[in-house]
Chain A
Amino acid sequence: MAESSVPTQQPAKQVLYCGICSLPPEYCEFGGTTKKCEEWLLSNHPDIHRQLYSQEVLEANMAALSVEAQKRAEKDASKKAAKASALEQRQAAERAESQVLIKRVERSKRKYVTVVSGLEAFGLELKKVAKDFGKKFATGSSVTKVPGGGEEITVQGDLSDDVFDFITETYPVVPEDNIDCIEDKKKKAG
């Protein structure tokens, strides 16, 4: 607590932040992922865990509030936790389902562009990914709007296999099975 006396020159304080919810651990109880935070703290900083989650502390916390306020706080907390876990599940399900498509599209006779779509479902920022593609392959790479709504990345050149490798290597959030390569032949050769 800051109640300690304050000399003129006090070194900067190092504050620990929770690895799960990024708040200082003492505020984890308000974050909605309390359970996970507690486990994280227990495995990473057992001494602080003992300080924060001991029986006496919990009781003292509870005693500070009136019974009614306690109930409301509890209800609120459980609601928040439920919301957080629901969101997580939904995201996980979405991720498992969504596909990343790598398409080779013919520009003119022997020129191709590679179109990558579906990356946004994995929480990646298209603009940054596009920049990375451009840097990696030394080609033009941009985010283009799709007529039906949504956006995709267009990389100049026939790079489908390289893009596939690059994505699996640099973005581990995208499972390899969810990436599909499609060769798009607009006109029949002839």
Chain B
Amino acid sequence: MEKSTLTLRRSHLAEMSAHCLQSLPLEGCGLLVGDMSTGQVVRVIPTKNVAMSAKLYSVDPLAHLRADRAAEEEGLAIIGVFHSHTHTDPYPSPTDVVQAPDPSWHYVLVSLRGELPSTRSYRIVSGAVQEESIDLVP
């Protein structure tokens, strides 16, 4: 798998952490809209976790449809998804790996296990997981 980078603004990181904390005790989730070719996130879209679970997430399908259409109109795309692990490390679980929908996406994990949220990003291709670097920009 090629080495890759996800580029985020600091505000995106804060937005993901805040949404995940607000979603407690459930897992929080949302989509990343950006430029697929560069891995640059343009905006974060927090969504409802329709699984309503502390151990599973499922992005609200209608929010996904709306986000996809809006992104396409701007020449952007959904380039990834974020979700929280409320009591485990920020590493994709077997469920995350099996259900990873798109090999071109970035998979961001926000762990709420520690005192402060811990965020990591991964690529998941054909069941193989590779962590990627997160480039934080102002």
User: Does B associate with A?
Assistant: no
A residues lining the B interface (CB < 8 Å): none
B residues lining the A interface (CB < 8 Å): none
